[in-house]
Structure 1
Amino acid sequence: MSNVSNTNLAETLDLISIQFNRYFSIFIFLFGTIGNLLNCLVLSRPSLRSNPCTFYFLISSIANIISIIFGLTSRILSGWHMDLTNTNAFLCKFRAFIMLVSRSIAFWLIAFATIDRWLSSCIEYQRRQYSSLKNAQQGTIYVVILSSIFYFQVLYCYDANMSLAPLRCYGKTIMCRLVTDLTYALVTILCPLLVMFIFGLLTISNIRQMHSMTSSQSKLIDVNENNKKTLKSTNPLRGRRKRIDRYLRHVLFVQIIFLTILTIPQVIEKLYTTLTMNQMKSSLNLAIEEFIYNIVLLLTYLASGMPFYIYTLSGGNTFRNALMNLFRIDYRHTLLRTDLKLKAIENTSK
């Protein structure tokens, strides 16, 4: 009787996994692709793109689009048993390599953005000088090269038609799975999150120091009324840059929290699956592991698709104003093109 109930539960979990791959994957695909495309359009505007932290966000959004397209397309097709990466070795290797490299790039660029926010908040002028667009561009190149090197072994390790694995396209040996999973857990997830956490705390410490210095300066201004006008900053450009910096710090911290919540479960699941792959498991245990794998995998794609919504909802008016200006400009251009076409038609008729 228990064997029958276990079989029924395993079949139910398999059915739920298929439904998740079919429909929730489509939702995340649309949700993430549209959001990251809007991110690219907004962050590439002249008012934002000169900021090095914004540049990291922009390239990270491009990497997220690549990760979602290459990763979720196969998940959606697998819901209808049409995923060619399950049976074609070349497509399996290529898809895994691009997806893992792009996700690593996206995570490390957010980590670099955290370092940039720390540099820009430092009291020392020499450290603030390192927060520049040139350094951000060079850092991005290093991240792309190193991420490709770390996952180059995927082109050998991954293979199609794998049995006794969470996916048909997976590592073909125990050593391959262990190396790939440890690389993903440490290089792509844990190390960037640790960097984000450390430099996030250092940034908060710098902000507190700056606030204490500002309060002491305001006391000096109150004592010496004659110097009040000269010490008070009235530069509107500087004030605008400070608002952008505050906005970037806020959305960065919110993004770090969501990245941690949505990606750590997959790290735990991957390590558990790899370390216990030689143990004898029942069909129910395998179904439970596959079900959990599908859920935590989709959570990581959700993390890749949500930056735009974090920037819009938690970043104050800076990002929202840039987004509205983008739509206004597109609307004006549409009206202008329409007017030109109408004038051309009128001239032709005359």
Structure 2
Amino acid sequence: MSPSMNVHLMEALNATSVQLNRYFSLFIFIFGFTGNILNILVLTQRSIRSNPCVFLFLMSSIANLISIISGLTPRILSSWQIDFTETNDIFCKLRAFITFTSRTVALSLIMLATYERWIMSSSNLQHRQLSSIKNDRKGSLIVTLISIVIYLQMLYRYKANLMDAPLKCYGKTSACHLLTDIIYSCLTILFPLISMTVLGVLTLSNIRKTRTCMEPRKIRREERLNEKCLIIQQRQRQRWKKIDRYLRRMLLLQVISLILLTFPQAIHKVYFTMLSNKNKSQLQYDFDRFLYNFELLLLFIESALPFYIYTLAGGKVFRNALEKLLF
């Protein structure tokens, strides 16, 4: 490829990156900020907030909101050459720490929600009793503390004004690149995704087992209850089953979106770091940076999606709470 063509390609990649940061990032910011604010307001409605899974969705929405504000605001400003995180070490370190920590918390809380759905689908009463808002609060606190401890090292390892990295604000040495990328890929993305997948399969297995043994127990209970108590119990059971069914559907769609939007970046992040010491042309570096920046935007799309997933898959339970909030 001729040098002039390389120059044209590099200019095209850089111009496209600027446009993505300026307009697409702004769209995701508005889309995600609005969605997560509405999510927080809806999920705190009295009619649904007593459900432990809803509490985890609520805390995940708060973490997603923090991730969007801390991660996308500098990207939008960078398109106008006023991103201080690219030139100031303190802002660079704080942005990286807050963005990575909040994203890890958000993904881990969804993982806890899949665990909560799994134990709720169990036929073992002792397992189902583990599902409570009190336990989920403890789990949320533990997840947050672990995420903070994991990414405290970024306050030392990240540096601004780097030229040989995917971003100007990045790990300052190759060892820092490798350590941060492995931690992020394995602990923030791969471990939660694998756990969600396994717990999802176990939940479906529990549901099938419950359906096969539900009828005999129902008949025995009906023999001991009078008609009025039976009707009340059936209505309550049907209402909670409906809520559980909607929650499983919401969770399933969110897990699928997580896999599609986060997995590519985890693989490419390690790939870029592993090959960072090899000789590359400027065009290859520019292409890697462009691809890396695009994959980062996919992550922020994932952070922006939950409200719209819940509206689509949450059925009347979520939509009624939304209508009550708005009207």
Shorter chain as denominator, the TM-score bin is over 0.9
**Aligned twin of 1:61:** 61
Whether the 8 Å CA contact 2:13–2:287 is kept in 1: the answer is yes
Relative to structure 1, the CA distance from residue 248 to residue 93 in structure 2 (aligned partners, 3 Å threshold; closer, same or farther) is same
Partner-residue secondary structure (3-state), 2:207:
helix
**Aligned twin of 1:212:** 212
Map of 1:180-219 to 2, 5 A cutoff? 180-215=180-215
Which amino acid in the other structure matches residue 134 of structure 1?
A: K
Alpha-carbon distance between aligned partners in 2 of 1:34 and 1:249, rounded to the nearest angstrom: 24
Tell me how far 1:80 sits from its aligned partner.
Answer: 1.2
**Aligned twin of 1:135:** 135
Q: Which range moved further: 228-237 or 248-257?
A: 228-237
Tell me how far 1:217 sits from its aligned partner.
Answer: 5.4
Q: Deviations over 1:285-339 (max 9, x none)?
A: 11111110111000000000000000001221111111001112xxxxxxxxxxx
**Aligned twin of 1:94:** 94
Which amino acid in the other structure matches residue 193 of structure 1?
A: L
Which amino acid in the other structure matches residue 112 of structure 1?
A: L
Partner-residue secondary structure (3-state), 1:196:
helix
Which amino acid in the other structure matches residue 287 of structure 1?
A: D
Tell me how far 1:215 sits from its aligned partner.
Answer: 4.6
Relative to structure 1, the CA distance from residue 18 to residue 316 in structure 2 (aligned partners, 3 Å threshold; closer, same or farther) is same
Alpha-carbon distance between aligned partners in 2 of 1:154 and 1:90, rounded to the nearest angstrom: 11
Map of 1:14-93 to 2, 5 A cutoff? 14-93=14-93
Q: Does 1:273 align with 2:239?
A: no
Whether the 8 Å CA contact 2:222–2:230 is kept in 1: the answer is no
Alpha-carbon distance between aligned partners in 2 of 1:284 and 1:267, rounded to the nearest angstrom: 22
Alpha-carbon distance between aligned partners in 1 of 2:246 and 2:2, rounded to the nearest angstrom: 57
Alpha-carbon distance between aligned partners in 1 of 2:312 and 2:298, rounded to the nearest angstrom: 20
Alpha-carbon distance between aligned partners in 2 of 1:268 and 1:83, rounded to the nearest angstrom: 27
Q: Deviations over 1:263-301 (max 9, x none)?
A: 011111111110011111112111111110111000000
Which amino acid in the other structure matches residue 322 of structure 2?
A: L
Whether the 8 Å CA contact 1:7–1:283 is kept in 2: the answer is no
Whether the 8 Å CA contact 2:166–2:289 is kept in 1: the answer is yes
What is the RMSD of the two structures over their aligned residues, measured on CA atoms? 1.8
Partner-residue secondary structure (3-state), 1:47:
coil
**Aligned twin of 1:110:** 110
Tell me how far 1:242 sits from its aligned partner.
Answer: 1.8
Whether the 8 Å CA contact 2:105–2:147 is kept in 1: the answer is yes
Partner-residue secondary structure (3-state), 1:81:
coil
Alpha-carbon distance between aligned partners in 2 of 1:208 and 1:226, rounded to the nearest angstrom: 25
Alpha-carbon distance between aligned partners in 2 of 1:102 and 1:233, rounded to the nearest angstrom: 45
Question: What percentage of aligned pairs have identical amino acids?
Answer: 50
- The two structures have a TM-score, normalised by structure 2, of 0.95
**Aligned twin of 1:13:** 13
- Please tell me whether Structure 1 or Structure 2 has the larger radius of gyration of its CA atoms: 1
Runs of 4+ in 1 over 2 A off after TM superposition: 214-218, 224-239
- Runs of at least 5 residues in structure 1 that lack an aligned partner in the other structure: 329-350
Alpha-carbon distance between aligned partners in 1 of 2:222 and 2:322, rounded to the nearest angstrom: 42
Relative to structure 1, the CA distance from residue 204 to residue 232 in structure 2 (aligned partners, 3 Å threshold; closer, same or farther) is farther
Q: Deviations over 1:208-250 (max 9, x none)?
A: 11111235557x68xx997797696542333222211111111
Which amino acid in the other structure matches residue 302 of structure 2?
A: A
Q: Which range moved further: 226-235 or 295-304?
A: 226-235
Alpha-carbon distance between aligned partners in 2 of 1:227 and 1:169, rounded to the nearest angstrom: 68
Tell me how far 1:6 sits from its aligned partner.
Answer: 1.7
Alpha-carbon distance between aligned partners in 1 of 2:99 and 2:44, rounded to the nearest angstrom: 24
How many residue pairs align between the two structures? 325
**Aligned twin of 2:238:** 239
